[in-house]
Amino acid sequence: MVPRKTHFTSEVTPELHGKEVVLAGWVWEVRDLGKVKFVILRDREGFVQLTFKSGRTPEELLSKVPYLNKEDVIVVRGVVEASRVAKTGVEVFPLEMWVLAKAKPLPVDLWGGTSDLPTRLKYRPVDLKSPRNLAIFTTASEILRAIREVLYKHKFVEVFTPKIIATSTEGGAELFAVLYFERVAYLAQSPQLYKEQLTASLERVFEIAPAYRAEKHNTDYHLNEFISIDGEGAFMDYSDVMDLLEEIMRAVVSAINAKRERLEKLGIRPPLYDVGRIPRVSYDEAIDKLKSLGYDVKWGDDLNVEMQRALTKFYGPLYFLVDFPASLRPFYTKRKDDDPKRTESYDLVLNGIEIVSGATRIHQREVLEKEMRERGLDPSAFESHLSVFDWGMPPHAGFGMGFNRLLMALLGLSNVREAVLYPRDRYRLEP
RNA sequence: GCCCCGGUAGUAUAGCCCGGACUAGUAUGCGGGCCUGUCGAGCCCGUGACCCGGGUUCAAAUCCCGGCCGGGGCGCCA
| CA/C1' separation A117–B7 (Å) | 14
Q: From residue A78, give the alpha-carbon distance in Å to each of A51, A92, A160, A230.
A: 10, 6, 46, 48
Give burial (CB, 10 Å; 0-12/13-18/19+) of A114: exposed
The gap between A213 CA and B7 C1' (Å) is 29
Position with higher pLDDT, A121 vs A236: A236
Distance CA A111, CA A28 (A): 8
pLDDT at A118: 86
Read out DSSP for A135-166? HHHHHHHHHHHHHHHHHHHTT-EE----SEES
- Identify which of A144, A109, A147, A143 has the alpha carbon closest to the alpha carbon of residue A129: A109
Q: Beta carbon of A83 within 7 Å of strand B?
A: yes
> Residue A173 above 80 pLDDT?
no
Residue A170 has pLDDT above 70, yes or no: no
When the pLDDT of each residue in chain A is averaged and rounded to a whole number, the result is 91
pLDDT of residue A428: 84
**pLDDT-derived band of residue A294, with 50, 70 and 90 as boundaries?**
confident
CA of A429 to C1' of B65 (A): 30
How far apart CA A54 and CA A37 sit, in angstroms, is: 9
Q: How confident is the model at residue A14 (pLDDT cuts 50, 70, 90)?
A: very high
Name which of A59-68, A168-177, A186-195, A279-288 the model is least confident about: A168-177
A36 touches strand B (CB under 7 A): yes
Q: Are strands A345-350 and A353-361 parallel, antiparallel or unpaired?
A: antiparallel
Calpha distance A114→A127 (Å, rounded):
12
Three-class secondary structure of residue A31 per DSSP:
strand
**Distance (Å, rounded) from C-alpha A412 to C-alpha A83?**
36
| Extended beta strands in A339-431, E state | 339-343, 345-350, 353-361, 396-402
Q: B43 C1' – A186 CA distance, angstroms?
A: 63
Round to whole Å and give the CA distance between A298 and A293: 13
Count how many Cα atoms sit within 13 Å of the Cα of residue A57 in the half-sphere of its side chain.
Answer: 27
Tell how far CA A139 is from the center of its chain: 9
Residue A108 has pLDDT above 80, yes or no: yes
Q: What is the predicted pLDDT for the residue at A414?
A: 84
- Whether pLDDT at A33 is above 70: yes
Asked whether the predicted pLDDT for residue A405 surpasses 70, the reply is: yes
Contact between the CB of A261 and strand B at under 7 Å: no
For A304-321, what is each residue's pLDDT tens digit? Answer: 888 888 888 889 889 999
The whole-number pLDDT of residue A182 equals 87
pLDDT in tens, A248-281: 999 999 999 999 999 988 888 898 999 999 999 9
Helix (H) or strand (E) holding A77: strand A73-82
ipTM for the whole complex: 0.83
Q: Which nucleotides of B are covered by protein (CB under 7 A)?
A: 1-3, 10-13, 28-39, 41-42, 69-78
Could you give phi then psi for residue A418, rounded to 5 degrees? -70, -15
Residue partners of A19: CB distance under 8 A and separation at least 6: A79, A80
The pLDDT of residue A6: 96
Whether nucleic acid strand B comes within 7 Å of the CB of A169, the answer is no
Mean pLDDT, rounded, for A123-133:
91
Asked if strand B comes closer than 7 Å to A101 Cβ, the answer is no
CA–C1' A115–B26 (A) = 17
Which range (A175-179, A233-237, A314-318, A362-366) has the least confidence? A175-179
Q: What is the dihedral of CA A241, A243, A246, A247, to 10 degrees?
A: -100
pLDDT score, position A381: 83
What share of chain A in percent tops pLDDT 90?
A: 61
Find all residues with CB under 8 Å of A351, minimum gap 6, and list them: A271, A309, A312, A317, A409, A412
The answer to whether some atom of strand B lies closer than 7 Å to the beta carbon of A415 is yes
On the question of pLDDT at A169 being above 80, the answer is no
Position A155 scores a pLDDT of: 97
Quick one: pLDDT band at residue A160, thresholds 50, 70, 90? very high
CA atom of A297 to C1′ atom of B60, Å: 54
Chain A 217-256 residues in 7 Å CB range of strand B: 217-220, 222
Mean pLDDT, range A2-11, rounded to an integer: 95
Pick from A274, A235, A245, A276: nearest CA to A147: A245
**Span A216-243, average pLDDT:** 92
A167 beta carbon to strand B: under 7 Å: no
Residue A221 pLDDT = 85
The values of phi and psi at residue A257, to 5°, are -60, -35
Pick out residues 198-217 of chain A having their CB under 7 A from any atom of nucleic acid strand B. Answer: 213, 215-217
Q: Which nucleotide is nearest to A333 (CA to C1')?
A: B78
Long-range Cβ contact pairs of A261-268 (< 8 A, separation 24 or more): A262/A46, A262/A135, A263/A135, A263/A139, A263/A411, A266/A131, A266/A132, A266/A135, A267/A132, A268/A132, A268/A135, A268/A136, A268/A411, A268/A412, A268/A413
pLDDT at residue number A265? 87
What letter would DSSP give residue A329? S
A47-64 pLDDT tens trace: 999 999 988 999 889 989
* Residue A186 dihedral angles phi and psi, to the nearest 5°: -135, 155
* Separation in Å: B24 C1' and A305 CA: 45
Confidence class for position A374, pLDDT limits 50, 70, 90: confident
For the cut 90, the answer to whether the pLDDT of residue A234 exceeds it is: yes
User: Residue A166: what pLDDT?
Assistant: 84
Rounded distance between C-alpha atoms, residue A133 and residue A268, angstroms? 10
Q: Are A355 and A348 in contact (CB under 8 A)?
A: yes
CA–C1' span, A286 to B52, in Å?
A: 53
Which nucleotide is nearest to A107 if distance is taken from CA to C1'? B10
The DSSP bridge pattern shows strands A183-187 and A345-350 to be unpaired
